[in-house]
Structures are given as C-alpha cells and as structure tokens.
Amino acid sequence: MDDLILVIGNKNYSSWSLRAWLALKVAGASFEEVLIPLDQPNTRQEILKHWRNGKVPILKHGDNLVWESLAICEYVAELFPQTGLWPADTRARAIARSLSTEMHAGFTALREHMPMNIRSRFPEESRKPDVQEDINRITAIWRRSRERYGVENGGDFLFGSFTILDAMFAPVVSRFRTYAVDLGEVETSYVEAVWNHPAMQEWTKAAHAEPMVIDSAEF
Ligand SMILES: N[C@@H](CCC(=O)N[C@@H](CS)C(=O)NCC(=O)O)C(=O)O
C-alpha cells in the first residue's frame, strides 16, 4: 500500500501524531510523512491545506481522508487486519477499545500539566492532586491489563503484543520519563517495553534531531 500520507506535527511535542504514526509503523505500512511545525504563525493555515479540522494527525489514503488519532488507528487496523493492532478475542478487544477511548477523551489534567516533551527532563517533587489522580488511574490500567491479558497472551505490552492501546499510551510513557514519575515494577517494565520498541526509538531519535523548540507546549 503505497498511497498513504500521514500529516503530523513536531515529533518532540505532538503526542497525537505519535499515536497514529506508531499504528502505521507497527502495521508495517509504507507511508509518506508530511511534518508541519506546530506553534508557528502559519501552522493553522498549513494544516488547513490538508483538512478543515485544523489539527494533526491527518491520514490521506487515495480519496479517503481520516482525522482524529484514534479513528486513524482504527482505519489502519482495518487496512492491515493481519497485524493484530487489536486483540483477536472479542472481550479483550472491547476492553482495549474502551481503554483507548478513555485515553483519547480523558486525562486532561495530565495532558495539561505534563505535556509531551521527549527531549527534556523536568523531575517534579510534588504533583497537583488531579494530575496524581490521572497517574493513579493510568498505572492501575497498566497493572490490570498486564495481569489480566498481557502476561497470559505473552509479550511485553498491555494485551501481549503491541496494540492500538499501547500506541494510545505511548505519549504517556514519554511523559512519565520526562517528569520522572515514580512507578512500580510492572509499570516500569511496561515503560521500558514501549520505550525500547523499534518504532518508538525511531520516533524519539527523530525528535532529538529536530531543531524546533516550543516553550510550555501543551499538545
Ligand atoms: N483529538 C485530536 C487532537 C489533535 C490535536 O490536538 N493535535 C494538535 C497537535 S498534537 C494540533 O494539531 N494542534 C494544532 C495547533 O497547534 O495549531 C486527535 O486525537 O487527533
């Protein structure tokens, strides 16, 4: 499939772009990448040239156009059904979808106060209660998923092999590293598994090589 184009933002900051990009990479898709630097005077204008929602990521596939990171991941899972981007079992898939949607729609305190910034380290002594609440919910999801599905299915990810749910949480993995969040054994192993995934490494390497710097970005 050679007519896929993914429009993304800066790799250091664009957490939503990372999710869609990971889904394509893990599916083994070959795709063209169009990177629009965020937070520039012409950013909105440049994104609007691709689609009227004014946000990245945007996936173009011939005449089809998909926006919203989770919808893109779903579309990629349908294009490449053999790559297991969702768990095969119906019940497991329903849970993985529910958790992915929870991530897509929620955790606003974490997103606001701990923006993704792959290159930086901002260890914090204390956290706002609502941020800590988000961290507690996420770490509980990770522990429960690993315990209930991950270990049983084999593999180091939440439901065993890498799924869309892991793509949805990949920016959180990066945030937990940037802000030095204290984690238990299970969560630490999971963070390492996501961080060391070849696709994640490819993205982070590119993030380090980017020259653009944005102050206090919330993406
Ligand atoms: N809900 C959207 C969120 C997309 C979003 O907020 N993208 C940010 C970058 S990560 C963006 O395009 N911001 C536009 C801007 O900064 O002008 C999704 O899941 O794709």
How far apart are the C-alpha atoms of 131 and 109, rounded to whole Å? 5
By C-alpha distance, which of 198, 189, 77 is closest to 142?
Answer: 189
pLDDT in the model for residue 125: 75
How much is the CA Rg of the chain, to the nearest whole Å?
A: 17
How far apart are the C-alpha atoms of 43 and 36, rounded to whole Å? 7
For residue 34, report the distance from its CA to the centre of ligand 1, in Å: 15
Domain with CATH 1.20.1050.10 in the chain: 84-202
Confidence of residue 202 (pLDDT cuts 50, 70, 90): very high
Q: Provide φ and ψ at 35, rounded to 5°.
A: -105, 125
Strand residue runs (E) in 45-146 = 58-61, 64-67
Domain with CATH 3.40.30.10 in the chain: 4-82
pTM confidence score: 0.96
- Structure tokens given for 96: 């993985």
CATH number, domain 84-202, options 3.40.50.970, 1.20.1050.10, 3.30.70.2660, 1.10.1740.10:
1.20.1050.10
Say if residue 41 is preceded by a cis peptide, omega within 30 of 0: no
Average pLDDT over residues 44-60: 98
Around ligand 1, the residues with Cβ closer than 6 Å are 9, 14-17, 38, 43-44, 55-57, 68-69, 104, 219
Give the class (CATH, top level) of 4-82. alpha beta
What atom of ligand 1 comes closest to residue 70's alpha carbon?
19
What atom of ligand 1 comes closest to residue 38's alpha carbon?
16
